[in-house]
Structure formats: structure tokens, C-alpha cells
Amino acid sequence: MSTKREKQLAYSELQDKMLEEGVRRKKAAKILAVLRHFLGRSDLDGLVALDLGCSTGFISDELRAAGAQVIGVDIDVPGLAAAHAHFGSSIGFTCADGEKLPMADRSVDVVVFNHIYEHVVDADAVMDEIRRVLKDDGVAYFGFANRLGIVEPHYKLPFLSWLPQGLADRYISKAGKADHYYEKFRARPGLKRMAAGLNIWDYTYPVLTDSATFQSDDMVPSRLAHAPLAFWKSLAPILPTFIWVGTRSSAVPAGPQTAVAPRRILSA
């Protein structure tokens, strides 16, 4: 018999990588590089940024350092406690559910939703909230893991996310990683359906082919730093992560030309 999927209320205690400051700040550098490129600006001065799923707050702090007024939202109480201890009142950390954000319609300039959707109970409801709070000229950064990635990113088990729930539970239990498999991933078509209602620009290939510009060495091993576009496209169905930027408006990337241009893959 299936059981109700509960919220992960203390994720930073389940995954201690959330406490690894260097790793988190490196991810923030990539996020900021993509946002800066899309916006065509070197800073986020004057913008209100929502870090949705902020946990320990290191990405929020990098957004703040770039000039944004930052609101960090999570249900990870231990993570938020660590964030408050690190950063005090310089960032507006709030314990709240992404399915019901405590902010007004059209009140946020920038949303960061990075590798969070698989952890929430209702990812579609969270995306509805992102669409609701995003300003008409706002932008949302999405880091979406792919269900068809070969190695599951949290438990490092090959093909785990491909399996139906029962088999995944047995696999992860036999491997001694957890009692059951919690995360719920989607493949690219399902992610596009989830992001419907926004204009979506795909930055995945620009990020993979130009790790220097987009600070993406967390995604691109050094031995593949100069791999051609054709190589990455050959891996398209099983790429572990997609990097997308969403807008309500018809804005286009305003940054300098890149070797591989971002491509619009959804229209609102």
C-alpha cells in the first residue's frame, strides 16, 4: 500500500553537502553567471531575489553580494538556523512552504529554484507559486535534474531514478543508502510541461560548452572543458541537468554573444 509523501523538513541533516560552503558558493557562481548573461548586467542592484529552497543560505549570500535584496525560503529548519547563524539579518530568511509563498503577486525580480523540484511534495504547485510571485519583467533560474541521468545525484546509484517506486525502494535499501527512495524526478518532456506558462530559454548547452564564462566547472569535468557541442548533443537524453531561464515577458538574453546561443524552447 502506498503511503502519503511527507515533506522533507530537515533536508540539511539528510544531505550534509548542503553544509559544504565551497560547493554551494561554486553553484552560486554559475547561477549568477547565467542570470547576468540573460539580464545583460554585471550586478543585481535594486532587484528583489527569491532563493527558493535556500537551506543553509550560501547561495542567498552570493545573491546578496551581487546587490540583490534577498529572501531565502525553505522548510529546512536546521538549515535555516545555520543560515541565520552565518548571515544574521542581512538576508530575509523565512520558514515557509514553496507551495504557498508568503509574498505578494508580481513582487519578485529574480527567482532561483536550483535542484529543488524533486524534493517537494507537489512540484507543479511550487511552479504555480513561482509564476504568481514573479514580476512581469522578472526572470527565474531553474536547475532541473533529469530523471534519465545515468547516476542518481543524491545517492550515486546508477539508474536509480529510472526505476518504478517499488524497485527503487528495494535497490536503495539493498545498497544501504536509505530505507526508501524519496525523490521524484522528471525527464525533459515532463519538465517542459511543469514550466508551461513561462517563456523558457535553454542555457544547458551554452553552460556546458563554455565553462569559463558560465563558471560551470561543477557540471563540466576538466577533461571535457573543451568538448564540442556535438558531443554534448549526443548525450541529450541522459544529460544529468538542464539549466533554464524562465520569464513572463518576451525578454531575450541581453548578454554578449556566446559560442553556443541560448535557445527558446517554450513560449508562454
Domain locations in the chain as residue ranges: 11-147+185-266
Q: What superfamily in CATH does domain 11-147+185-266 come from?
A: Vaccinia Virus protein VP39 (3.40.50.150)
pLDDT digits (tens, 9 = 90+) for 212-256: 999 998 899 889 988 999 999 999 999 999 999 999 999 999 999
DSSP string, 143-172: EEEBTT-SB-TTT--BTGGGS-HHHHHHHH
On the question of pLDDT at 4 being above 80, the answer is no
Element (DSSP H or E) covering residue 125:
helix 123-133
pLDDT in tens, 25-63: 999 999 999 999 999 999 999 999 999 999 999 999 999
Residue-level pLDDT at 16? 62
The per-residue pLDDT for 7 is 79
**Full DSSP string of 184-246:** --B-HHHHHHHTTTSEEEE-HHHHHH-HHHHT-TTTS-GGGTT--HHHHHHTGGG-SEEEEEE
- Using an 8 Å Cβ cutoff, are 119 and 55 in contact? no
pLDDT score for 222: 87
**pLDDT recorded at residue 88:** 87
Confidence of residue 5 (pLDDT cuts 50, 70, 90): confident
User: What pLDDT, on a 0 to 100 scale, did the predictor assign at position 12?
Assistant: 72
pLDDT mean over 138-159:
97
Over the stretch 81-131, which tens digit does the pLDDT of each residue have?
Answer: 999 999 988 999 999 999 999 999 999 999 999 999 999 999 999 999 999
Residue 17 banded pLDDT, cuts 50, 70, 90? low
Mean pLDDT of 13-29: 79
